[in-house]
Amino acid sequence: MIELIATVLIVISTLPLLVKVYRTKSVEDLSLVQMATLTIGLLFWLFYGIQINSFAIILVNAISIFLEVILISMKIIYSKGNINE
């Protein structure tokens, strides 16, 4: 049960940022390096969850990767020239 609560909290923590970026189309303050690094770390956690067959770890990381990919896509789409930082 505690795993699912942690999963929900981790996933919903990204949603306000996604909504703000979608509404404002402002991505200048988002770091592509940070988001890419986080996504790679989440991939490792996902692989670990698969390895130990942990539904909670797999679920939270799969959803988090999906949300980070959306943010990275928004960063690329909404950037005005320089997407590096």
CATH for 41: 1.20.1280.290
Q: Domain range holding 37?
A: 2-78
Does residue 83 lie in a domain region?
no
Give the separation between CA 45 and CA 63, rounded to whole angstroms. Answer: 12
Write out pLDDT tens, residues 28-85.
Answer: 888 999 999 999 999 999 999 999 999 888 989 999 999 999 999 999 999 876 655 5
Q: Which residues touch 84 (CB under 8 Å, ≥6 apart)?
A: 32, 33
Q: What six digits make up the tokens of 52?
A: 């130990």
Residues in the chain: 85
This prediction has a pTM of: 0.84
Asked, for residue 85, whether it belongs to a domain, the answer is no
**Phi, psi angle pair for 69, to nearest 5°:** -65, -40
Q: Is the per-residue pLDDT at 21 higher than 80?
A: yes
Q: Quick check: is 84 in a domain?
A: no
